Structure 1
Amino acid sequence: MATLFLIPAPLGEADTPWLPEPERARLTHLRHFVVEAEKTARKHLKALGISTPIRELTMHTLNEHTPAQDIAALLDPLLAGHDVGLISEAGCPAVADPGAQLVALAHEKGLSVMPLIGPSSILLALMASGANGQRFAFHGYLPVDAGERAQTLKKLEQRSRDNDETQLFIETPYRNDAMLEHLLSTLSPTTRVAVACDLTLPGQTIVSRLVRDWPKEKPALHKRPAIFLLHAQR
């Protein structure tokens, strides 16, 4: 049976291998790919040592602009008996990523789905935060409007307090500094706030403190990929 391989991508410019060698070796035969961005995918696949010349690979795009009715056709190589690799812009495909729709369709068709080990910014941030890793939820982007965002943060804080559940979310990178200030001015002094930035990269920054203990000198987050976490004490 043909297999849909879910291939993690590096979280930034990767100078060192980001997949374990046994995982990488399982991919060298692939000729067909579904990618979030073709230019980025070509760079990643070249670094992975795909044996076929890059220009001879078949690539189809799946991103937030792909019409829902076009997704099923991306399974055609699998239905014809060819293994296919799914790779997103960064991190793990199908997690906070449109690739999840393709995976769901593959299961509906009875196809084999094989997730591979690689970097996940969500899990890495959770691991490094000291917050509860038994119960957690990822919410993607919060509202842009300051009033709506404050209300959402208060709701997430209460949910965290009621359920002992860590809440994770992201922000457009140029608004990261404002988000951090908003967190520290909105949440309870005893709520843990963590930020993980440039994970796995040389400039990696991870800070996790109760709101009341956050240092006055805050990390510069502007235009850097970051994940925010909050965990409220009961």
Structure 2
Amino acid sequence: MQVQKSFAEHQEGTLYLVPTPIGNLDDMTVRAIDTLRSVDLIAAEDTRHTGQLLSHFGIDTRQISFHEHNTQQRIPELLDKLRAGANIAQVSDAGMPSISDPGTELVAAATAAGIAVVPLPGPNAGLTALIASGLAPQPFTFYGFLPRKATEQAATLASWVHHPATMIFYEAPHRLAKTLATMADVFGGDRRAVVARELTKKFEEFSRGTLAELQAVAANPRGEYVIMVAPGDGVQSGATDDAPTGTVIEQVQAIIDGGAAPNAAIKQVAKRLGIPRQDVYNEFHGIE
């Protein structure tokens, strides 16, 4: 067992996880500003973006890039600095580090090395949207971004049809229409949901209705979106034809293992998920 006393004396440096505003710069806390001023280095997802934030608050702390494409390269370098006594703040472009943003691997490496990791509270798009959604705020389940492939997305959502908690998803504007359409197909068009966009900004907007009604929101998508879907009925179904489990490939293979021909299994999974047979065929056979 490892016990961390965050504010005890340490020979090593401390890794601070500092949330940044999701839109409105006034949401930056005094503690976050003071931390960014006092650390030796800021590991930023995009140094240009974070540079604008630092400039706004008159912070001149040196930055280093830390994003999904250089994680493995940067972690040893950052750990060496922490072991040498440097204090480092890690930030993403907006919101909480590690929540659909870089940070998870660095935190795991730092804790494994016995380095103190201190989180600061701050902005989070999912919870900000949830408390104003009008849906049950608890229990809730945060998923983040769904798989991009239609078949994988449908399979993931299918396993959540009966989930007894409000579900929170993130989505980019160019994928909003397809995601909402898939949700309506899988959950049913009459399932209550809320779509929030541009949170804390001038054009903040909440659209509340059924998944069928919310298709209209995707007609002119702008900004980043939070989609919240009302809880299911909580029925715990077994792994039957009406209650699929696993990825699309796993579902097809399970039916084949039961004695069905591949094409019959593909057809059955397509019908089960409510998606085109060709999409399932391509996924199963690895055709892009």
TM-score by length of 2: 0.67
Q: Between 214-223 and 82-91, report the one with greater CA deviation.
A: 214-223
SS at match of 2:161: helix
Match of 1:116 in 2: 120
Match of 1:228 in 2: 227
Match of 2:19 in 1: 8
Q: 2 CA distance for matches of 1:216 and 1:165?
A: 22
Q: Between 40-49 and 62-71, report the one with greater CA deviation.
A: 62-71
* RMSD (Å) for aligned C-alpha atoms: 2.5
For 1:10, the aligned partner's letter is: P
Counterpart contact for 2:145–2:170, Cα < 8 Å:
yes
Q: 1 CA distance for matches of 2:158 and 2:193?
A: 13
**For residues 70 and 26 of structure 1, do their structure 2 counterparts lie closer, same or farther at Cα, with a shift above 3 Å needed?**
closer
Match of 1:188 in 2: 188
**Structure 2: gaps (5+ residues):** 1-9, 234-288
| Of 22, 32, 40, the match for 1:31 | 40
Counterpart contact for 2:15–2:117, Cα < 8 Å:
yes
Q: Between 103-112 and 172-181, report the one with greater CA deviation.
A: 172-181
SS at match of 2:132: helix
**Structure 1: gaps (5+ residues):** none
Match of 2:252 in 1: none
Task: Report the CA distance between 1:25 and its aligned residue.
Answer: 2.6
Q: 2 CA distance for matches of 1:221 and 1:121?
A: 21
**For residues 145 and 93 of structure 1, do their structure 2 counterparts lie closer, same or farther at Cα, with a shift above 3 Å needed?**
closer
Q: 2 CA distance for matches of 1:100 and 1:84?
A: 15
Q: 1 CA distance for matches of 2:33 and 2:134?
A: 31
Q: 2 CA distance for matches of 1:221 and 1:72?
A: 44
Task: Report the CA distance between 1:221 and its aligned residue.
Answer: 5.3
SS at match of 2:16: strand
**For residues 5 and 220 of structure 1, do their structure 2 counterparts lie closer, same or farther at Cα, with a shift above 3 Å needed?**
farther
Q: 2 CA distance for matches of 1:197 and 1:176?
A: 11
Counterpart contact for 1:175–1:222, Cα < 8 Å:
no
Q: Between 220-229 and 81-90, report the one with greater CA deviation.
A: 220-229
Task: Report the CA distance between 1:69 and its aligned residue.
Answer: 5.3
**For residues 59 and 206 of structure 1, do their structure 2 counterparts lie closer, same or farther at Cα, with a shift above 3 Å needed?**
same
For 2:68, the aligned partner's letter is: E
**For residues 215 and 32 of structure 1, do their structure 2 counterparts lie closer, same or farther at Cα, with a shift above 3 Å needed?**
closer
Greater relative contact order: 1 or 2 (C-alpha under 8 angstroms, separation 6 or more)? Answer: 1
Q: 2 CA distance for matches of 1:131 and 1:91?
A: 22
| Of 130, 133, 140, the match for 1:136 | 140
SS at match of 1:131: coil
Counterpart contact for 1:4–1:85, Cα < 8 Å:
yes
TM-score by length of 1: 0.81
The structure number with the bigger radius of gyration is: 2
Counterpart contact for 1:183–1:193, Cα < 8 Å:
no
SS at match of 1:199: coil
